[in-house]
């Protein structure tokens, strides 16, 4: 008998944050529980918001208030366990920017991070937040990634967007394009390569092939269209290779994603593509289907995933929200947490 058999990992629930109460996050969470896809998890949020979401998605789905994460594992079937992190006096109107919703979303994410850092949950899955609502509440973070990084102590983290065909990791995230170009430095590219390389072991690729997208058209064409590839990106790739990282490129950004796409009859040349800025990396993955994409924060001391769409205020309350990306994020969190255990 192995030691691991004598001391099996302690079963832990998934923490699912409510997201912006005025968006589709609560509804997609209710749908996931209704379909049995979120069993063993619990929502960190407001009880009233989740009751409204249950009603909007078919009713007859009770909310069970819990006091500790572990109670979610023993919750009655066909219910939504909720750990109250906030208590809104009045529910925010659906589909509208509301500072109260921004503040509540922030507090839920902070509570989830604290539970994860304390080892009380297996992973964190975050429902969408609205950046304008955060700003209206005075929250000085542009998105989940930066917020989670701060809660976890400030260690370097990176955003990865992934589906079953393509994985992209970003050097820069939620900044203007001008700031993103300035943010493409030797240190930033090398650190991103290190984080992507280390993290890939979680999904079974201890030595991933990483293809690097150039910043400029045609990857600079030897300096004709910009020299960042020659001065910054190429030297960072060389440094990573000297550390044993299988980094290749930089390649033209308009073809590297096609080369990496892994489909039947076309095995991908790369396991991960390193993109220099937000839209360069996210457009290819989202084009393959928003409902399949999952956002993963790499470099945190805990597992965090999220759907790859936003709050969709235009759909909130309409009954047309699609929980597929959230369900994919829950599945990814389970797989990564299982591998880590």
DSSP states of 202-255 as a string? GGT-SS--EEEE-SSGGGGGGGTT-SHIIIIIHHHHHHHHHTT--EEEEE-TTT
Using 50, 70 and 90 to split pLDDT, how confident is the model at 1?
Answer: very low
Identify whether the C-beta of residue 18 lies closer than 8 Å to the C-beta of residue 33.
no
Q: What is the band of 7 on the pLDDT scale with cuts at 50, 70, 90?
A: very low
Mean per-residue pLDDT for 68-82?
93
Q: What is the pLDDT of residues 11-63, one digit of tens each?
A: 799 999 999 999 999 999 999 999 999 999 999 999 999 999 999 999 889 99
User: In the predicted model, what is the mean pLDDT of residues 301-313?
Assistant: 95
Residue 218: asked if its preceding bond is cis (omega within 30°), the reply is no
pLDDT at 68: 96
- Tell me how far apart the alpha carbons of residues 133 and 119 are, in angstroms, rounded to a whole number: 30
How do residues 166-200 score in pLDDT, each as one tens digit?
A: 999 999 998 999 999 999 999 999 999 999 999 99
Q: Where do you find CATH 3.40.718.10 in the chain?
A: 1-154+301-341, 164-288
* CATH 3.40.718.10 describes domain 1-154+301-341: yes
Phi, psi dihedrals of residue 186, rounded to the nearest 5°: -55, -50
Cα separation of 272 and 209, whole Å? 6
Distance of CA 172 to the CA centre of its chain: 15
For tokens 């993103």, name the residue.
180
Residue 13: Cβ within 10 Å count? 26
Average per-residue pLDDT for the chain: 93
Confidence (pTM): 0.91
H or E segment to which residue 99 belongs = helix 99-117
Q: Quick check: 28 and 321 in contact, CB under 8 A?
A: yes
Cα separation, 74 vs 79, in Å, equals 11
Q: Identify the sign of the CA torsion 203, 209, 210, 213.
A: negative
Q: Is the CATH code 3.40.718.10 the one for domain 164-288?
A: yes
* Whole-number Cα distances in Å, 255 to 201, 217, 251, 258, 341: 26, 11, 8, 5, 37
Q: What is the DSSP string of 117-183?
A: HTT-SSEEEE----HHHHHHTT---SSHHHHHHHHTTS---EEEEE-SS-EEEESS-SS-HHHHHHH
Q: What is the pLDDT of residues 116-154, one digit of tens each?
A: 999 999 999 999 999 999 999 999 998 899 999 999 999
Q: Computed over its alpha carbons, how large is the radius of gyration of the chain?
A: 20
Residue recorded with tokens 């072991």: 201
Question: Is the CB of residue 56 less than 8 Å from the CB of residue 323?
Answer: no
Examine the pLDDT at 9 and tell me if it is beyond 80.
no
């Amino acid at each position: 008998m192995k030691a691991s058999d004598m001391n099996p990992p302690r079963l832990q629930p998934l923490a699912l944050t409510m997201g912006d109460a005025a968006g589709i996050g609560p509804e997609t969470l209710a749908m996931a529980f209704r379909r049995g896809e979120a069993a063993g998890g619990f929502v960190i949020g407001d009880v009233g918001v989740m009751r409204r979401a249950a009603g909007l998605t078919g009713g007859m789905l009770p909310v069970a208030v819990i006091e500790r994460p572990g109670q979610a594992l023993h919750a009655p079937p066909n219910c939504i366990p909720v750990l109250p992190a906030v208590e809104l006096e009045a529910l925010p109107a659906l589909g509208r920017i509301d500072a109260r919703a921004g503040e509540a979303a922030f507090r839920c994410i902070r509570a989830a991070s604290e539970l994860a850092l304390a080892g009380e949950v297996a992973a964190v899955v975050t429902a969408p937040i609205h950046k304008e609502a955060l700003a209206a509440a005075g929250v000085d973070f542009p998105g989940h990634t930066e917020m989670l990084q701060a809660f976890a102590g400030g260690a370097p983290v990176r955003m990865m967007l992934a589906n079953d065909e393509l994985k992209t990791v970003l050097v820069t995230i939620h900044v203007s394009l001008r700031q993103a170009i300035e943010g493409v430095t030797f240190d930033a590219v090398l650190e991103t390569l290190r984080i992507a390389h280390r993290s890939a072991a979680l999904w079974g690729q201890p030595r991933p092939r990483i293809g690097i997208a150039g910043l400029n058209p045609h990857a600079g064409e030897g300096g004709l269209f910009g020299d960042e590839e020659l001065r910054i990106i190429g030297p960072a790739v060389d440094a990573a290779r000297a550390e044993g990282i299988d980094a290749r490129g930089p390649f033209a950004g308009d073809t590297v994603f096609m080369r990496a796409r892994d489909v039947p009859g076309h095995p991908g040349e790369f396991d991960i593509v390193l993109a220099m800025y937000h839209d360069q990396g996210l457009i290819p993955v989202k084009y393959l289907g928003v409902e399949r994409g999952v956002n993963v924060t790499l470099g945190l001391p805990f597992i965090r995933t999220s759907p790859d769409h936003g709050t969709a205020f235009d759909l909130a309350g309409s009954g047309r929200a699609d929980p597929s990306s959230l369900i994919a994020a829950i599945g990814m969190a389970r797989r990564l947490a299982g591998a880590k255990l």
